[in-house]
Structure 1
Amino acid sequence: MIQPLFNWRTGLAIIAIAIVSGTVFYSQFLAKQIAREERQKVEQWVEAGKLIMNDTTGMSDKLVSIIISENRTIPIIETDEKNHITQYINLDSASIAQDSNYIKERLKEFSKQNDPILWADPSDSMRTNRYYYGHTSLLTQVRNYPLVQLLIVSLFIIITITALTTSFKSSQNRVWAGMAKETAHQLGTPLSSLQGWVEMLKENPDNEKIVTEMEKDVNRLKLVSDRFGKIGSTPHLEEHNVVAQVATMIEYIRKRAPGKVLFSLDTGGESEIAAHISPPLFDWVIENLLKNALDAMEGKGSIAVQIRQQSTEVLIDVTDSGKGIARQNVHKVFKPGFTTKKRGWGLGLSLSRRIIEQYHKGQLFVKQSELNKGTTFRIVLKK
């Protein structure tokens, strides 16, 4: 199926780019306007200073004092023709008192930010003052605003994508849970019928062997139905002997495995190791891991299960001597639908992790894997 070129992620990206681009252009326009006005104010301030020096009548004193006093934001440093600092305004007095080089450093900064305004003394042609000025906080804020908005838009997009992804996963989980429950419901009707037929067959002693085998299969179907019925519901966890649970599943898989596959269970000498589990769901996880280990081998090899208890946790390692997992696939094996087998839906490990992590509040992960040598899956359970 051809994937559409446009989706909601692309739309969000285009909107974000449009917003940030528009903001950048408009902010630059405003910054230029403010910079132009600041230069005009500095020029007026310089002219006012000239007027005070040249006007002996005093008629312009009021106007000049207004112009000079209005500049409370633009920092200005005056230098003579040899670039020696002669006076300054609107600089941080505390920084000046603490650092003797503060004014010189600001002078270097101002010279990089703006071209100085020159004033030649009409009474002395050799005397030319330079007025260096810096940016106001307003101009700095306007220039930095696009970066702030970019950060805000980026956070908005991340939060939106995260929320949508979480919502999608939640919907997907509800679909899986619904499918599982529907499967359990659909299995219920033929199971009831099969149980009835088994009871009828029991009435004839000649059918004892057939009845025994059929009953095993019926019980197996009941277990599968029970497992699927528990998906999507909060299971009731009880303290059980994990050693006995695992041993039972190993024996079940051993009977159905090729004769050249060796099984072993190492409990460190412990016959009972307790943990809070839901037996039907926990058995399903162990069964999936053992079947997965069998599939990784070509009819021969070994499967070793090790169980160890710590102060607050129980560790279960399932190790096979199979073909291993490629490094690039280690993080994919738990994703629904991922499988390297010719048959199967790729749901076994995904469901197993969900059962351990969501229902048992534990962990299931690939502890170690090496191509052509084997893989170890680890389960961590709370005691």
Structure 2
Amino acid sequence: MMKQRFTWRILFALIAMAIVIGSVFYTNYLSSKLARIETQTMENWVEAHRTIAKASGETNLNLAVKISSENEDIPIIETNERDSITNNYFNLDSVVVKKDADYLKNKLAQFKKLHAPIILELSTNPLVENKYYYGETRLQKELRYFPIIQLLIVAFFISFIVIAQRSENHNTQNRLWVGMAKETAHQLGTPLSSLAGWSEILKNIPGNETILPEVEKDIERLKLVSDRFAKIGSQPKLERKDVVAQIENMVSYIKKRAGDHIVFSVVATENPLFANISAELFDWVMENLLKNALDAMDGQGALSIYVKRMGHQIIIDITDTGKGIAYRNLKKIFSPGFTTKKRGWGLGLALTKRIIHEYHHGNISIKSSEVGKGTTFRIVLNA
């Protein structure tokens, strides 16, 4: 599924690039064609002025005058044989010319870079001639910027599609999480009710006094798991709780199952530290992170938790001295289904991230990790 989606994204991007590149080439072709037309128009315009300048009394000047007056687009500046600007200019803003003394000079410098002048020779001895420098029409300028505008439109369209697709994927993932959590809680409900009934029956049978407390502990544990999934399937209620106490309780629970070669430590700059949390789901987060740390340390090492307040936030750093995480896996570690273990679904850290992000409006990330030395996870909660 991911491979197919990736292929479609590449194909879509290539099509968009092909459209833009094709548009750029076609626009350049049109621009070159328009430039040739403008040059021909200028040559006709100068020829018309030559006809008018050399006309005798009986010459019909209707066509020359018509050609001369029809140029309303191409900006023109006239200079003499010494290349000095005369008082004649065409299709330029006369108001700006009067206000800015350097306007015509600057425009002339621009026109010289664009085209060679078209020369109208009026006399050879002495040499008298006019040079006509010309710029680009508004259509030519708009045509040059058209590929950029089109590129921006395509980029906006691609961005819109990507954002919409991500939003849809996120919503689909949310529905999947909710559906899976509700179904899990529902499936656990029936055997739990049955186990609770059997537990009551066992109480009345002599000889079960030693095993019954352990059975009831496991039933309570299963009820806790079911309750966690039920809260994942709905919006949990956040309550003001002491985060340090919650962490210490979970460390105490994990410590009993970790063995004697793991050294635990919990350090808090303030105690208590309160935040709005769902106690059951926060415990689940800590349990997932602590169990992952134990797995990474293979039964020996140090696991430390450092809690501090920073402004309006509570920072929780969970550090182990385990195997560490390879750099190539850092961006994938919270992705559903990703795991480096031989067994497991790869959902623990994905659930952890969802609980912190979606339900507690906080953040969880890998603060640091080095292969062979250990990993530090950081949780940020709003105080």
Alignment correspondent of 1:202? 203
CA contact (8 A) 1:322 1:372 kept: yes
CA distance, structure 2, for counterparts of residue 226 and residue 355 of structure 1 = 14
SS at match of 1:296: helix
Residue 276 of structure 1 deviates from its aligned partner by: 0.9
Residue 235 of structure 1 deviates from its aligned partner by: 0.6
Query: What pairs up with 1:1-383 in 2 under 5 angstroms?
Result: 7-57=7-57, 60=60, 64-86=64-86, 87-93=88-94, 96=97, 101-121=102-122, 124=125, 126-268=127-269, 270=271, 272-383=272-383
Greater mean deviation of Cα atoms: 213-222 or 161-170: 161-170
CA distance, structure 1, for counterparts of residue 14 and residue 364 of structure 2 = 39
CA distance, structure 2, for counterparts of residue 186 and residue 218 of structure 1 = 15
- CA offset digits 1:221-247 (Å, max 9, x no partner): 111111112223111111122222211
Please provide the CA RMSD for this pair: 2.7
CA distance, structure 1, for counterparts of residue 6 and residue 341 of structure 2 = 33
Greater mean deviation of Cα atoms: 114-123 or 312-321: 114-123
CA distance, structure 1, for counterparts of residue 368 and residue 25 of structure 2 = 53
SS at match of 1:157: helix
Greater mean deviation of Cα atoms: 306-315 or 208-217: 306-315
* Corresponding letter in the other structure for 1:191: L
Q: Which runs of 5+ in 1 are unaligned?
A: none
Residue 60 of structure 1 deviates from its aligned partner by: 4.5
Residue 137 of structure 1 deviates from its aligned partner by: 1.6
Q: Which runs of 5+ in 2 are unaligned?
A: none
Residue 3 of structure 1 deviates from its aligned partner by: 5.6
CA contact (8 A) 2:270 2:309 kept: no
- CA offset digits 1:271-325 (Å, max 9, x no partner): x322111111111001011111111212111111222235532222212122222
- CA offset digits 1:257-278 (Å, max 9, x no partner): 02100111222362x3221111
* Corresponding letter in the other structure for 2:249: T
Provide TM-score, normalisation by structure 1: 0.89
Greater mean deviation of Cα atoms: 284-293 or 70-79: 70-79
Identity of matched residues, %: 52
* Corresponding letter in the other structure for 1:319: T
* Corresponding letter in the other structure for 2:354: R
CA distance, structure 2, for counterparts of residue 16 and residue 227 of structure 1 = 46
CA contact (8 A) 1:301 1:320 kept: yes
Question: CA 1:58–1:166 in 2, change beyond 3 Å: closer, same or farther?
Answer: farther
SS at match of 1:24: helix
SS at match of 1:207: coil
SS at match of 1:121: strand
SS at match of 1:32: helix
SS at match of 1:299: coil
CA contact (8 A) 1:195 1:218 kept: yes
* Corresponding letter in the other structure for 2:365: F
CA distance, structure 2, for counterparts of residue 3 and residue 236 of structure 1 = 38
Q: How many residues align?
A: 382
* Corresponding letter in the other structure for 1:369: S
* Corresponding letter in the other structure for 2:325: I
Residue 39 of structure 1 deviates from its aligned partner by: 2.1
* Corresponding letter in the other structure for 1:321: T
Greater mean deviation of Cα atoms: 121-130 or 251-260: 121-130
